[in-house]
Amino acid sequence: MITNSSFPSAVRALSFHHLRTPGYRGPLVLAGLLAVVAAAPDGVVHGAVVVGTAMVGLVAAVPAALLGPVVVLLALALAGLAAAPAVWRRVRRLHRPGNSALLGTSLAVGAVVLGFSVPGEDYGLLGAGLLVLVLMPFAWLAWKARESNRAAEAGTGRWHGAWRWAVPPLLVGAAALLISHDVPREARFSMSRPALTSFAERALATGTTDRAPAWIGGYPVRDAELVDGGVKFAVAGSGVFASHGYAYFPAGTPTQHPARYTQVDDRWYSWAGPDHF
């Protein structure tokens, strides 16, 4: 029988057991990284992920821009090669995506959706999620190709669980649909608005924001200040070269720098600070 005191130990043991398994090691490490990035948006890990993904993007963008026609021709050649019967027969020997691949895809898609849920975007979560989505198919194909060769030699290769092949594109498509309609940002703000409004009204009544907590509702708050008859919150981890956040103006439209504000509802606005690049 597992008692209450032994349950956390059993969970930790199970986690470490899966961490030693190659198929689960990647998703568990990715989950830990995303948890650190999301929990500490102004931390060192978050900043390192933003810088690292920006450098990778620059390194990849320069050759693509300079060798655009070559890249297109190479992609067409690879597509034609992939359509060849011999290649297709080899691909069919691949086993369907396993739980670890689907879990990794789900974590990466979730990170991208969360990255788009704050004003100015959280480029730490976006960078980590997009980098995993781009690199994981190549790593998975290399891993499964090796396993397929072993299964073919043993005569155990089978085509089963084909429905799993549809899960990653469905996840990516659903995320793209939600992001295109700004659902993540609106949903997160709707859930956090009561807590934000409560703190803003209390700050206006007391005339101070000194006791602003680190998290208000579902947002990590870098700082809060009284401005132009309202309260302005800076969301930690949002944007890269400028601060972003929300502002509460019960008396109406702000008069100072109104172009920086976008109305969200009757009293709430999103705002973007000056670019420091």
The strand ranges marked E within the chain are: 215-216, 219-227, 230-235, 244-248, 261-263, 268-272
Collect contacts of 5-8 with beta carbons under 8 A, ≥24 apart.
none
How far is residue 215's CA from residue 237's CA, in Å, rounded to a whole number? 12
Indicate whether 1 pLDDT > 50.
no
The pLDDT tens digits for 189-230 are 999 999 999 999 999 999 999 888 889 999 999 889 999 889
How many angstroms separate the CA atoms of 108 and 172, rounded? 9
Q: In 3D, which of 258, 253, 19, 243 has the Cα closest to residue 119?
A: 243
* pLDDT tens, position by position, 65-110: 665 566 566 666 655 555 555 544 555 555 677 778 888 899 999 9
Name the residue type at position 81. L
How many C-beta atoms lie closer than 10 Å to residue 137's C-beta?
A: 13
